[in-house]
Amino acid sequence: MSKLNQQFQLPGGRRLGYDEYGSPNGKPLFYFHGSPSSRLEFSLYGNDETLRSFDARVIAVDRPGVGLSDFQPKRRLLDFPKDILALADHLRIEHFAILAYSLGGPYGFACAFAIPERLSRVGIVSGAALFTEPELVQNVNAGTRRFLNLPRENPLASRLFLWILGMTARLSPKSLIAQARSLLPEPDRVAIETNPALQLGFVNAVRESFRQGVRGAFHESLLSVTDFGFRLQDIQTPILLWHGEADQNIPVAMARFVESAVPKCEAKIYPNEGHLSMFKKHSADIIRALTA
């Protein structure tokens, strides 16, 4: 049974927002959303019935400055594993798996590097690797490229872009869907056009990401193009990758780079799937693999 809109106060006083799905005492799986997005994103791809069939418990967490989680000034990528450990301890969870989607990928890698003793495995779905490597971003679509480059090149324009995006999600959701659809490859366009529930869930997740304004999303995008603070080659936690070959938000070259860099990594590449179609169609298999 879902437990939504929860908050936990971290030792330093910040609050962390999260939702829970599935079996209350099931095998724990922490979900890291994309960006700009929020904890609500998990409901696009998973549901209580599927999770209960695997005896799985998903904890979907808002990152600092997003949704119900307080902003953290000067946050670095490697700060987030500390928040996850504090929440896991609060929930009395000793060992767990992680499922990270899209721009949640770097946070999955950060946990895999920083807290391997608490993790069984980390799954990265349609996930970002290194936007700091020019050869890995050659095939990124124009919208994603703009979203990622603006914070570094023109911070004011980036904040304005994000503000407009948040207002569009709130006041003109159909326009937001149309904008997203125009940037997506064919498999993703089909998935979103034929699924009104997916459209509504997408809009709600984006709208929630701007609950506190734009600074959380701005900091998220800035961190995506900043050095991780660790090497993928030094990750010892088992990593499972799922990626669509038609993905133009996060090119498949990133998944192949991770597979070659991380010592314990297994990748599944889907030839005719995009950024969200692959996750939507194969979410049950992904959750099963991470909670087995």
As for how many domains the chain has, the answer is: 1
Residues 77-104 have pLDDT tens digits of 999 999 999 999 999 999 999 999 999 9
Q: How far apart are CA 202 and CA 40, in angstroms?
A: 9
What is the pLDDT averaged over residues 250-260?
Answer: 91
**CA atoms 231, 279, 216, 135: torsion sign:** positive
List Cβ neighbours of 231 (8 Å cut-off, separation of 6 or more).
261
pLDDT: which is higher, 153 or 75? 75
Quickly tell me which residue has 């979203």 as its tokens: 147
Looking at residue 1, its pLDDT comes to: 66
CB 38 within 8 A of CB 274: no
> For residue 210, what is the domain's CATH number?
3.40.50.1820
Predicted TM-score (pTM) of the model is 0.95
Least confident range of 140-144, 149-153, 262-266 = 140-144
Structure tokens given for 218: 């701005």
Is residue 134 scored above 70 in pLDDT? Answer: no
Which domain covers residue 233, as residue numbers? 3-291
Residues paired with residue 96 on neighbouring β-strands, in sequence order: 119
Residues 178-193 have pLDDT tens digits of 888 877 888 999 888 8
